[in-house]
Structures are given as structure tokens and as C-alpha cells.
Amino acid sequence: MNKLTKIFSFLILFSPLTHAGEAEIKAALALLMPSAKVDSVTPLKEIPGLYEVSYGNKLIYMSEDGKHLIQGNLIDVLGRKNLTEQKLADGRSQVLAKLNNDSTINFKAENEKHEVAIFTDIDCGYCRKLHAEMDQYLAAGISIKYLFYPRAGKGSESYNKAVSVWCAEDKNQALTEAKQGKTPEQKTCDNPVDNHMKLGNDFEARGTPMIITSKGTVFPGYLPAKRLAKALAAD
């Protein structure tokens, strides 16, 4: 049983709330999810009596009386739209728009048409394949902002390589050589690798590469340049 399922059961069986309202819902979530910072509690216009609760980069739904919690996607059947994913994409887009270029490793297309953020692991096979085709992405007008997401976790060999790459005098060259299998010179310095990993976790990264468009749309896994360009044009 996952954490949200336990919360759901607790709310149904033991919630003392009997009145509707934002304050009551926030109070219940503060009790049950003390580490979660609730950003907003908003009446859901599509379904009267249901509230949308946003915390971090996650969404859940709660009944007006605070006794029931729903985890999952809200689908507009007639419009064939995933309303939950649209809202999450908007959130991802806003977060990525605030990223400073100094906190990512950037490969910029001369004739830029699109920009994507990619969570990458230096030792991931498909990440290496994608990077080996960098010229094709740049030629297609796709600029790439890299964020590190070493899947083996903090302190792993991949993590240490990411730190060393970031601390190199020429980050782009060091990353390219590391993607080719060369072990980077071990270095340490102030670096954003932990922040990158936290952001990847917030975005619920399940693997690498994970491509995110400027609109917050996620493309999990490797996509060749032509397919990515086509997907970006339709995004």
C-alpha cells in the first residue's frame, strides 16, 4: 500500500472534518503529510464539490467535506484531454523557465526553433546515444539544456562523474568526453547536481534520458532528432 493510499484510507475512516473549506483541507493534509508544502487548494470547476490540491509538482483531489482523497488523472472525455497532465505540464514549464543557464550545461542551436531540458545520466546507454547525435539535434534547431540525474544516486560513480564534469574548465567538452566513455578528471566544487536530482524527483523521473519541452510536456526516453523535431512542432 503506497503512502497516498494510506492517506486516502485514513481520511475516509478517521477524518474529523465535517465542513467544506480550504482551511480544513490544508489542516488535514498538514496532519497527514507534514513534509508536503501545500501550494493551493482550489475548487474544481469541472466537478462541483471537488477540490484540486497542488503541492510541489504534484496534484491530488479532495472532496468538499475533506473526507475523501482521489489520486489519479482527471480526463475530459469529450475533449479527449488529460486535465491533470496539462496542469502538471504548466507547472513544469514554469519551473524550467526559471532555470538559469549558469545552472545547466547548454548546447545551443544556431538556428534555434525549440529548446528542451534533458535529465541525463553519464553512464546511461541511450543518454550516450542521444549525445553522440548532438549535431543532428542542433541542425534541427533544437537547443538542449542538460540536467544531471545519476540514477544510481548520490555518491555513486555516475554521480561523481557528474560533479567532475561540472567542475571541469570546459563543461561541454568534459561532458562529451565522459559520454564517450572517458573517465573525467576527478574534481569537486560548488555544483548543482543535487538540485538537478531533486528536480528530477519532483518531476517523477523514472529513467534517463527524460526530455521536457518548454511547455512542460515529457518525452521519456531517447528520441532521434527528426522524431523529436516533429513532436516539438506538434507540442
Enzyme catalytic residues? 121, 124, 127, 151
Provide the β-strand partners of residue 210: 119, 220
SS3 call for 177:
helix
- Give the strand pairing for 50-55 and 38-43: antiparallel
First to last CA, the chain: 35
Q: Copy the grid coordinates of residue 119.
A: 535529465
Side chain identity at 62, as an amino acid letter?
M
Side-chain-facing half-sphere of 215: CA atoms under 13 Å: 10
Handedness of CA 93, 97, 102, 106 (dihedral sign): positive
Q: Copy the grid coordinates of residue 205.
A: 523521473
| DSSP count for the chain of H helices, then E strands | 9, 11
